[in-house]
Every structure is written in C-alpha cells, then in structure tokens.
Amino acid sequence: MTPFGAAGTGSVQVPGSKSHTNRALLCAALAEGTSRLSGVLFADDTKAMLGAIKSLGVEVEENPSELTLEITGLGGRPRLNESVIDCRSSGTTSRFLLPVLATGHGPATLDGSQQLRSRPFAEQIAALRSLGCSLEETAAQGGLPIKIQADGLAGGEVEITADTSSQFVSGLLMAAPLCDEGLTLKLLGTPVSRPYIDMTIEVMRDFGIEVTNLDESTYVVPPSGYRATALEIEPDATAASYFFGAAVITQGKVRVDGLDERSIQGDIQFVSVLEDLGAKVTWGDRFIEVEGDHIGGGSFDLRHFSDTAQTLAAVAAFADSEVEITGIGFIRAKETNRLTAMTTELSKCGVEIIEKPDGLLVRPNKWLLRGATINTYDDHRMAMSMSLLGLRVPRMEVLDPDCVNKTFPEFFDRLEELRPRAQERSGVTSVIAIDGPAGSGKSTVAQRLAAELHLPHFDTGAMYRAVAVAAVRAGVDIEDADAVTKLARETNIEIHERILIDGVDATEDIRSADANQMVSVVAANTQVRQVLVPRQREWATSLGGGVMEGRDIGTEVFPDALLKVFLTADLSIRAERRFNESSEQTLESVLEDLKRRDQIDSTRQDSPLLVAPGAIIFDSSGLSIEDVVSDLATIFRGLVAG
C-alpha cells in the first residue's frame, strides 16, 4: 500500500448492507408474489444466499449493474429434494437457512467452506432438535455439514442461547411464521448484537410479518405468511466504518452517502464512538460525514456492533491515549479468531495491544508504528481494517486482499478514491515537511529527497544550532532567555553549503558535542521560536517551497504542507547512527543523550515534537536511506500527479 501523505477526503458510495440483503433475500424467497429489491449487495456472502434460495426453486432475476433483484417467492415452506446447499463462508446464509429448511419437507444437507465448517452451530441445532426436527452433523458435532430430514415444524416455545451469535435468533425468527403454531422464542444468556435481531424484525415487518416483543428476551411470532414487497437495501454501515476510520486516521473528511441516524444497522453506532474519540460528525439527511481531529482515548463496549471492533482497533493505533474495547469475547468465533488475529497483526506494526478475555486493549505510541506484511486469515474485516494503517504507514503489505470479496469486492478502489491530489487541495504549500527525533535519518533523507526531486532543502535545526553557537561566541548564558532571543533576532544566520553566523563560518561548530548539549535549551525557548519560525516560513516561501526538516514543520511551520512525514527509528538504532557519525562520545552516552533530547523535545511547552496530523509515520529502522528516499519520492509524485 502507498500511504496518502495528507488528509483523505471525498464522498464514498459503499455497497448495500450484507445483513439487510440476506434477510430480504430470504424473506422474499418465502413470500407470496414477486419482490423487488434495490441497492442490493452482490458479493460472496449474498451470492451464497442467492444460490441457496435458487436451489430451493425460487425464481430470481438478477440485474447486478443496476443493483436490483426480482424474486418470485415460494409462498410458504420449502420443499427439499436431497440437495446439498453450499453456504460458502457465509454465516448469515447458513444460520438463517437452517431453521427455514426445518419448516419444510424432505431431505437436504447444509454445508459450506472449511472456514464455515469450523464455526459454531450447536446452539441452533439444539433449539431445532427441541422443536422436534431431525438433524445430523455428518462431520464434527455442532458444526456443518448438517443433514436435515425436514417434516415441518409444529412450533410452540423454544429457548436459544444468544451469547455467541445473534444469527441463531434471526434464523429462528424468520422461520417462525412458517411453524404450524408460530413460535415463542426465549433468549438465554446475555444476547450479543441485539440491533441485528431488531433488523430481522424490521425486515420481517416489511414482508408483512409482525413480531411481538413480550419482554427483553421473549419474542412471539404467530403463524402467518410472508408477502412480497419492494425494498431498498441500506448501504452497509460496517463497510462505511472503514471510510470513517480513514477520515479519522488521516485527519481528513469523508462523507458516506445513503446512511443516516435512522439506519436500522447497529454498526452505525461506530460513528458515535469516533465522535467520543474526538472526530467531528455531521449526521445529515441520508448522509453521514466524519471529519478527523485528534484521536483521544477511552473505553468502549462493542457488544452490539462488534463487526466494527477491528476498525476501532486500527484507529486506536493512531490515538493519543489508551483505547479499550470490551464486550466482544464472542468475536473469537467469527471468520477467524478476530481478537487473536488483530493482536498478532497490530503487534507486527509496532502497536502495543493486549488481548483480554472480552476484548482488546490498545496502548498506542505513534512513534513506534511500522509497516508489516499482514496476514488476513480469510477474514474480509482483517484486510479492510488493517489496510487503514497503510494510509499513514509505508511498507504495509496486505496478503490475500481478495478476501474482501466476501462483502465488499470494490473496497480497495473505493479507498483509492479518497487519496488526496495536490491540485484538488486549496491552500496547500508546496513543502515536504519532515519531522522526527534526532538520529531518525531526517537530515540525510531530507537532503537526498530534495536532490532527487530537484527541490531546495531547508534544515531548520541548523538555525537553532547557529543561535546556540552565536551565544557561545558572544559569551551569552544559554539559560538567559531574553539575551538569547535578542541574539537570535540580531544575528545574521546564513544556511547554504556552509553555515555562516554574521559572516563567520560555523559549519563544524554547530555540530559539536557542546552545541548538541545547548541546542535543546535554545529550541525550548519560546521567544527564540517566535523569531525563527517566521524566518523559516519566509525562507521556504521565497524559494517556492521544498523539503524542510525539523521538529515542528508539519505541526507549526507548515501545517498545510503538501506532504508531511514523521521519520522515526528504534532508539538503539538512532544511537548507533549518531555514534558512527562522531566518535566524541561512547555509544552508551549517545543513547542517554538521545533519550534526554527526545524527552525535552517531545514534552517542551512550546512546539513539542509530535506526529503532525495526517503525517506519514515512517520507521527507518531496518531500511537503507535509498529505500526511504525512494518511497517518499513515490508518495510525493503520486500526490502531485494528475
């Protein structure tokens, strides 16, 4: 992946909701008459449901380019004919279908991919057996494949444990009107993903079925028949979460069309989490817009919208403080063990993340982020969430990206649409801002990048160093803030091939161990900064921009820089680099020195060294200068290209 290098902006059309589509497909398949669905998702999971209902004899007219479907339903219970129904990797298809098959007549086998075979079905099997259905697991207990010998369901009362998947409940609810006596459903345990149960009830209502909620955990469905209808599928709120995440991570502004707070999808609550973290949200009429600001921290219970947990964990990698995600132990039984998978893959990227029994704890430190090769475990949500890191971290490689076909075949194209282009951005300064701690390779990278791109190079650190040397030469106490400021104002500093202080060469002096010691004090002097920062702006502006390095270029000097980079490297590697440059100190003392300077630079009151909003975070630890320069040149050229 190639990082954005600046704020991602734009409007995105996300595909239809998988959950909404698959519910509507099944209800339409059972209905009397012809239903017309628009805004339909065409992806692996919905193709699984489509294939299944067709194999039951449902007539389907597909128009994928228009995103519509016409479905002529069975008008009642299905007749089974020994067919093997392949649910592929679709949890919804399999869990929705099994109880519906049970209301029919005849033999059938429900099966799916290896991945689906390892997901749980035991709760639903138990519930159906208690209703008198004959089911046989032909491989592992509690899983697919399941052979069913259906002979209708009398119905009555049934209990179902709902603390691993709400899909068990949704399936039984959709089968309920086809039971002779209807069904009274009692939920055991603390149900997860309740909004999905509400969505099921909503869609059933669209198809003419009333579900009564006796109390928190009891649903009553009288015997009845589905009636065909015309239904518009909502855009997928989970799919939208990645784009809202992109806005927040790159500190950009992204609008998703077709969704608003009236959505029947619980995952819309993810937007409120982003709002709590600091994002600005516009809840529009048929659109939601998220504008990234700083990302704070906090603790969030995602029990009812757990499909966005991976998105949140990816966002948390860029947060300013700890982010805790709770209530989601059950997502271990999704496409993969999502808690372990996310912990493993984020750790590879330098994120401190702890897997807890019921969630994740992320302790972010942007300085330590680095690109990695990401395994996706055949989980579309691993691919989509982890790719968000690639918007700001170079050298991210996402393996098996096609796994997004499960719910969002065009995901990566849609994400590309948010990539910033220089000519579409107003008020940008043609500056490449390179900030980072000492020893991160900033100076060499900035110089070489400037040469490579034929742009001027500006070393702002040299300005602060020159003031320190000027103070020594003038016998001014470095701690005397006013005197040093006066000096900064009155001294003529020229930074070209050589560095001249009032015409006297100081090229070597400004790099001495003494200067190293004093410069942090100079740089922490607010008044000195007030003198030097405007000079730095003038300097770059007068030459039409270029590559400028320092500590506060992206945050303070040119916050609207065309490309912002935060260059980092492991502390030990930075120390080694500094040690190799000069033999005045031992490695040990260089390391101590760096630690001290990191501390002063990043905690000082004025213009601390921070990762600028939206800046690329580039860890140069294992890389050659050439690698870093060539990556940055590519990113820059991408930004200015048409």
Catalytic residues: 307
Total residues binding ligand DC (CB under 6 A): 14
Distance of CA 300 to the CA centre of its chain: 16
Please count the other Cβ atoms lying within 10 Å of the Cβ belonging to residue 316.
26
How many helices and strands in the chain, by DSSP H and E? 21, 30
Residue 468: CB minimum distance to ligand DC, A: 8
**Residue 110 near residue 148 (C-beta atoms within 8 A):** yes
Q: Which of 460, 485, 525, 568 binds ligand DC (CB under 6 A)?
A: 460
What 3-state class would DSSP assign to 212? strand
x/- track of binding to ligand DC for residues 492-521 (CB under 6 A)? ---------------------------xx-
Longest dimension (CA), the chain: 99
- Whole-angstrom Cα distance, residue 300 to residue 72? 43
Binding range to ligand DC, per CB under 6 A, among 15-23, 49-57, 264-272, 545-553: 545-553
Q: Which of 4, 207, 464, 558 binds ligand DC (CB under 6 A)?
A: 464
Instruction: Output 345 or 552, the one with its CB closest to ligand DC.
Output: 552
Phi/psi at 276 (nearest 5 deg)? -60, -30
- Whole-angstrom Cα distance, residue 533 to residue 76? 75
Decide: is 438 part of the binding site for ligand DC (CB under 6 A). Answer: yes
- Whole-angstrom Cα distance, residue 66 to residue 328? 37
x/- track of binding to ligand DC for residues 549-578 (CB under 6 A)? -xxxx-------------------------
Instruction: Output 359 or 441, the one with its CB closest to ligand DC.
Output: 441
Binding range to ligand DC, per CB under 6 A, among 58-66, 128-136, 232-240, 547-555: 547-555
What 3-state class would DSSP assign to 565? strand
DSSP letter at 287 equals E
Residue 399: CB minimum distance to ligand DC, A: 37
Decide: is 597 part of the binding site for ligand DC (CB under 6 A). Answer: yes
Name residue 232's beta-bridge partners. Answer: 38
163-to-185, 193, 329, 406, 422 alpha-carbon distances in Å = 15, 9, 10, 24, 49
- Quick check: bond before 15 cis, omega within 30? no
| Cβ-Cβ contacts under 8 Å for 398 (sequence gap 6 or more) | 1, 374, 376, 383, 386, 387, 390
What 3-state class would DSSP assign to 221? strand
Closest CA to 123 of 169, 191, 174: 169
Instruction: Output 307 or 435, the one with its CB closest to ligand DC.
Output: 435
Decide: is 465 part of the binding site for ligand DC (CB under 6 A). Answer: yes
- Whole-angstrom Cα distance, residue 465 to residue 467? 5
User: Which parts of this chain interact with ligand DC (CB under 6 A)?
Assistant: 438, 460-461, 464-465, 519-520, 523, 550-553, 597, 601
